């Protein structure tokens, strides 16, 4: 019987995949297993069983202390090849995504990364992912005997859990010390925002040139009960916001009732994160900005004029 093997460096994502994997396994006549790797791995077994894993491969090998892509790829290769694993599903976190190509190469397998939907099709798993920068959605299947797919976090919901036991395989892995060392880790300031759930979302872009101007945006957000998100530059380059607030292809996918873009040109890598909004409002001083193509109601103007005026009006209501 073929096996679907799940791994993610993020246990929450892994459990989502175990839940989904269980349903796929039923359709495919397969079983679901998961790999628990690194310090403290063994202690997580109950959780994984309770969401539906039939079998767990566990290793706390010292080489798996800090995540290094090559070492984790070698570990997964050995687990896959020791059993009957046909599908390796990896959580598409940053580590998971870099892992997918590396382990696929070790397995002579094809790989699909950043899948955002998946279904069974003709005995295979079909995955959807964005293509052409987000202009289109490609539906793909891996055609090699072993198949690697990395799946975006939150693609699937956690299924029901029930106390259950299964088979634990303590794998004896042959691993070398990682050739890349983590010499320091600088934690990012935690930002517990959940933009995916926001009913009203305002995003700021590179058109907002001064951090002081965020005050008027925050005022607007307060008046609308909105969360604030951003395009790539304000998060990655200017560090005005944590990347938890970046919206788009490599950020969050949001579906608010009302989305307002402020100083955003509307490049596809951003708009892909907001196309599911009910109503889209755009404030941009360039009437030719592509953002207006995605817009229901647009104002051509300088946000520094428009936003304060809008705030005044909302306050007067």
Partner 1 sequence: MDVIVCMKQIPDLQQIRIKDREPILDNVPLVWGDLDKNAIEEASKIKEAVEDVKVTVVALGSDKIEQGILEPLAMGADEAVLLTDPAFAGSDSMGTAKVLAKAIEKTGSYDLVILGEGSTDNYSGVVASALAELLNLPMISYVRELEVQDGKVKAVRNMEESFEVMEADLPALVTVAQEINEPRLPKFMAIRKAGAKPRHEWGPDDLGLAADEVGQNALSVETLSNLAPEQDRKNIILKGNLAEQIDALVDALTKEGVLGR
Site for partner 1, residues 147 to 166, rule: CB under 8 A: none
Q: Which does 188 bind (CB under 5 to 8 A by kind): ligand FAD, partner 1, none?
A: partner 1
Residues 236-255 touching partner 1, rule: CB under 8 A, are 236-237, 243, 249-250
Selected from 40, 62, 163, 188, the binder of partner 1 by CB under 8 A is 188
Question: For the residues of 45-72, what is the DSSP string, one character each?
Answer: HHHHHHTT-SEEEEE--GGGSS--HHHH
**Which residue do the tokens 């990347």 mark?**
243
Specify the residue, 153 or 159, whose C-beta has the smaller distance to ligand FAD: 153
The option from ligand FAD, partner 1, none interacting with 26 (CB < 5 to 8 A, set by class) reads none
Residue 317 binding result from partner 1, ligand FAD, none, given CB thresholds of 5 to 8 Å by partner type? partner 1
Q: Give the torsion sign (CA, 33, 34, 35, 39).
A: negative
Q: What is the DSSP string of 66-112?
A: S--HHHHHHHHHHHHHHTTEEEEEEE-SHHHHHHHHHHHHHTT-EEE
Residues 4-33 that bind partner 1 (CB under 8 A): none
CB of 266 to ligand FAD, least distance (A): 7
Binding to partner 1 (CB under 8 A): which residues in 194-223? 199-200
Site size toward partner 1 (CB under 8 A) is 87
Among 174, 181, 192, 212, binds partner 1 (CB under 8 A): 181
Nearest residue to 171 via CA among 44, 22, 30, 42:
42
Residue 37 vs 260, nearer CB to partner 1: 260
Sole binder of partner 1 in the list 46, 81, 136, 211 (CB under 8 A): 136
The yes or no reply on residue 69 touching partner 1 (CB under 8 A) is: yes
Long-range contact set of residues 305-314: C-beta below 8 Å, sequence gap at least 24: 307/216, 307/217, 307/220, 307/262, 307/283, 308/216, 310/220, 311/216, 311/219, 311/220, 311/223, 314/220, 314/223, 314/224
Integer-rounded Cα Rg, in Å, for the chain is 22
Residue 211: contacted member of ligand FAD, partner 1, none (CB under 5 to 8 Å, by partner type): none
Q: Which is nearer to partner 1, 78 or 267 (CB)?
A: 267
Q: Token digits for 280?
A: 């889209």
> Binding residue for partner 1 (CB under 8 A) from 162, 172, 187, 212?
187
270 binds, among partner 1, ligand FAD, none (CB under 5 to 8 A by kind): ligand FAD
CB 33 within 8 A of CB 5: yes
Residue 153: closest CA among 197, 211, 114: 114
Residue 279 β-bridge partners? 258
142 makes contact, choosing from partner 1, ligand FAD, none, with CB < 5 to 8 Å by partner type, with partner 1
């Amino acid at each position: 019987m073929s096996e679907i093997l799940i791994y993610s460096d993020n246990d929450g994502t892994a459990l989502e995949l175990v839940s989904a994997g269980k349903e796929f396994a039923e359709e495919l006549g397969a079983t679901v297993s998961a790999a628990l790797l690194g310090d403290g791995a063994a202690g997580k077994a109950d959780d994984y069983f309770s969401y539906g894993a039939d079998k767990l491969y566990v290793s706390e090998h010292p080489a798996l202390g800090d995540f290094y892509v090559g070492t984790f790829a070698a570990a997964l290769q050995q687990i896959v090849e020791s059993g009957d694993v046909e599908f390796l599903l990896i959580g598409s976190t940053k580590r998971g995504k870099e892992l997918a190509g590396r382990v696929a190469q070790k397995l002579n397998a094809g790989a699909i990364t950043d899948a955002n939907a998946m279904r069974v099709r003709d005995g295979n798993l079909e995955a959807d992912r964005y293509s052409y920068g987000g202009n289109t959605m490609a539906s793909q299947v891996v055609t090699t005997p072993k198949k690697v797919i990395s799946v975006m976090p939150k693609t699937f919901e956690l299924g029901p859990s029930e106390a259950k036991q299964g088979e634990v395989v303590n794998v004896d892995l042959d691993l070398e010390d990682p050739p890349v060392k983590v010499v320091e880790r600088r934690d990012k300031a935690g930002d517990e925002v959940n933009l995916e759930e926001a009913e009203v979302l305002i995003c700021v872009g590179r058109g907002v040139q001064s951090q002081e101007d965020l005050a008027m945006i925050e005022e607007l957000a307060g008046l609308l009960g909105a969360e604030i998100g951003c395009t790539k530059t304000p998060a990655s380059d200017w560090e005005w916001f944590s990347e938890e607030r970046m919206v788009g292809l490599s950020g969050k996918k949001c579906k608010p009732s009302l989305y307002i873009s402020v100083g955003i040109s509307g490049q596809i890598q951003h708009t892909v994160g907001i196309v599911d909004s009910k109503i889209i409002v755009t404030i941009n001083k360039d009437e030719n900005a592509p953002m207006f193509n995605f817009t229901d109601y647009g104002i051509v103007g300088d946000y520094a004029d428009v936003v304060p005026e809008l705030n005044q009006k909302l306050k007067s209501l």
